[in-house]
């Protein structure tokens, strides 16, 4: 029988420990931030009935969706994001959950798009959403969660770009182009990638006059300080009720961010961002990294007040955002901000004497009871070979104890990176041992 060549599908990948450890730690950080704001976890199936998914994101997401007919003859699709399944979930369970309902969901999604740097056909999203309220408080809170997420993962330079789709809707109303909203939004969403000339051509091809196209591009070109942008929008959208509502909500959001202590350098009103998904209705967010803007938005989202209406007559407005885990990790790797480790344990314990394994397990138990993780080498080999193993896996701390040290109840705490070590008693004075180990550990960063 011929061997099958082991390989992965294009656009998909395996995760070795060096990649999986920071992924899991980043998810833990996200969960911690979401919980601090009162979001609770849910999960939904990877497969949904095809009618639940199609026509909810965009023509592009419909094209990219993996779908098939299952063994029961049902048309099913693999979720392309976590928001559409959440809208179905909320419509199905809202009477049990009550409103407002705040959830987070971390899971894989699938899109058959062209793979590129930081983009794969299977990727993890870390979503958080509030459903059942149109209040601006939820808009503000979404921006604050994004801000805290970026800081929590150790990103020092980033910008949350904020817009409101009501602003563009107001402009289109003034030009009697209400029916062109989807076309204009999709064209604007490509602005950064393809430039003004290509967007102009796309809008003209869609039936907008040159004058109308110039007005849309003039809106997208508005920039400056928060006050400058708001002032220009006030002037441009005079007479448009929905446009003025959008401007006022942006003003409220920015005022609250400032009151909450968010510095100006971390957010920006940017009326050029539109977000490509059709279901957004109000405020939208994109987050770019100051040191690597080319990788695109690493945390995006917005308000979708009508999405759940596809599944229920009950009005369930929502807002949320998604941390793009894989894209952010790709960026952190390029910026050399990921730890170089393939071990999930904090402490390495070499095995010198197989006859003394009880002592080593007792030592490891003290370490684990103190809240750290520990790995004992499984065989009694030369110390050099064991420390080489520890070095290859990125351990920083080793507890070195031969038979003489164990007889004396002592152990050497060795920092493998700095080569600094100290010998302490662990059996008779475990409290002092733990304090010495804590001083040697020095874990300053959430992803380390």
Predicted pLDDT at 168? 85
Q: Beta 47-49 vs 75-78: how paired, if at all?
A: antiparallel
CA distance 329 to 336: 10
Predicted pLDDT at 46? 97
Tens digit of each residue's pLDDT (9 = 90 or more) over 317-336: 999 999 989 889 889 988 88
Tens digit of each residue's pLDDT (9 = 90 or more) over 135-167: 999 999 999 999 999 999 989 999 999 999 999
Tens digit of each residue's pLDDT (9 = 90 or more) over 398-439: 999 999 999 999 999 999 888 889 999 998 889 999 999 998
CA distance 195 to 187: 10
What does the mean pLDDT of the chain come to?
90
pTM of the shown model: 0.84
Half-sphere exposure at residue 163, Cβ-oriented, CA atoms within 13 angstroms: 24
CA distance 433 to 405: 14
Per-residue pLDDT at 125 exceeds 50: yes
Predicted pLDDT at 205? 81
Crossing angle for the helix pair 165-174 and 210-220, to the nearest 10 degrees: 150
pLDDT, mean of residues 192-208: 80
Predicted pLDDT at 270? 92
Tokens of 288: 């770019």
CB atoms < 10 A from the CB of 310, how many?
A: 15
pLDDT, mean of residues 275-284: 83
How does residue 443 score in pLDDT terms, banded at 50, 70 and 90?
very low
8 A C-beta contact, residue 423 and residue 406: no
Predicted pLDDT at 28? 95
The contacts of residue 422 (CB under 8 Å, 6+ apart) are 412, 413, 436, 440
How does residue 190 score in pLDDT terms, banded at 50, 70 and 90?
confident
pLDDT, mean of residues 116-137: 90
- Burial class of residue 62 (count of CB atoms within 10 Å of its CB; 0-12, 13-18, 19+): middle
Crossing angle for the helix pair 210-220 and 191-205, to the nearest 10 degrees: 160
Q: Is 350 helix (H, G, I), strand (E, B) or coil?
A: coil
Per-residue pLDDT at 444 exceeds 50: no
Predicted pLDDT at 292? 94
CA distance 199 to 209: 13
Predicted pLDDT at 245? 95
């Amino acid at each position: 029988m011929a061997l099958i060549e082991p390989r992965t599908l294009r656009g998909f990948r395996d995760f070795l420990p060096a990649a999986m450890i920071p992924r899991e730690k980043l998810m833990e950080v996200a969960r911690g931030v979401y919980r601090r704001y009162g979001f609770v976890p849910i999960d939904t199936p990877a497969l949904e009935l095809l009618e639940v998914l199609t026509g909810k994101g965009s023509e592009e997401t419909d094209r990219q969706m993996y779908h098939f007919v299952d063994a029961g003859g049902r048309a099913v699709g693999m979720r392309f994001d976590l928001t559409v399944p959440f809208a179905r979930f909320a419509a199905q369970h809202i009477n049990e959950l009550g409103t407002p309902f705040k959830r987070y969901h971390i899971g894989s999604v699938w899109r058959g798009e062209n793979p590129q740097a930081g983009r794969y056909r299977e990727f993890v999203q870390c979503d958080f959403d509030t459903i059942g309220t149109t209040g601006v408080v939820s808009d503000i809170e979404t921006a604050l969660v994004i801000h805290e997420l970026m800081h929590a993962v150790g990103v020092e330079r980033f910008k949350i770009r904020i817009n409101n789709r009501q602003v563009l809707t107001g402009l289109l109303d003034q030009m009697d182009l209400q029916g062109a909203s989807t076309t204009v939004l999709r064209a604007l969403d490509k602005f950064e990638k393809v430039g003004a000339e290509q967007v102009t051509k796309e809008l003209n091809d869609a039936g907008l006059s040159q004058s109308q196209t110039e007005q849309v591009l003039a809106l997208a070109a508005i920039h400056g300080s928060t006050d400058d942008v708001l002032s220009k929008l006030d002037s441009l959208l005079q007479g448009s009720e929905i446009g003025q509502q959008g401007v006022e909500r942006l003003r409220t959001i920015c005022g609250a961010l400032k009151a909450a202590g968010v510095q100006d350098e971390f957010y920006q009103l940017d009326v050029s961002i539109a977000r490509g998904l059709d279901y957004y209705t109000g405020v939208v967010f994109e987050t770019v990294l100051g040191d690597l803007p080319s990788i695109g938005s690493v945390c995006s989202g917005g308000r979708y007040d009508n999405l759940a209406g596809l599944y229920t007559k009950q009005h369930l407005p929502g807002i949320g955002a998604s941390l793009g885990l894989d894209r952010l990790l790709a960026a952190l790797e390029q910026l050399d901000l990921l730890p170089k480790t393939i071990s999930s344990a904090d402490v390495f314990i070499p095995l010198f004497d197989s006859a003394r394994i009880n002592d080593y397990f007792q030592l490891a138990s003290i370490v684990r009871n103190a809240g750290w993780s520990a790995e004992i080498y499984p065989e009694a080999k030369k110390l050099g070979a064991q420390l080489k193993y520890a070095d290859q896996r990125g351990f920083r701390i080793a507890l070195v104890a031969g038979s003489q040290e164990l007889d004396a109840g002592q152990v050497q705490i060795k920092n493998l990176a700095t080569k600094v070590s100290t010998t302490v008693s662990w059996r008779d004075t475990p409290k002092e041992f733990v304090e010495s180990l804590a001083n040697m550990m020095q874990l300053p960063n959430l992803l380390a």
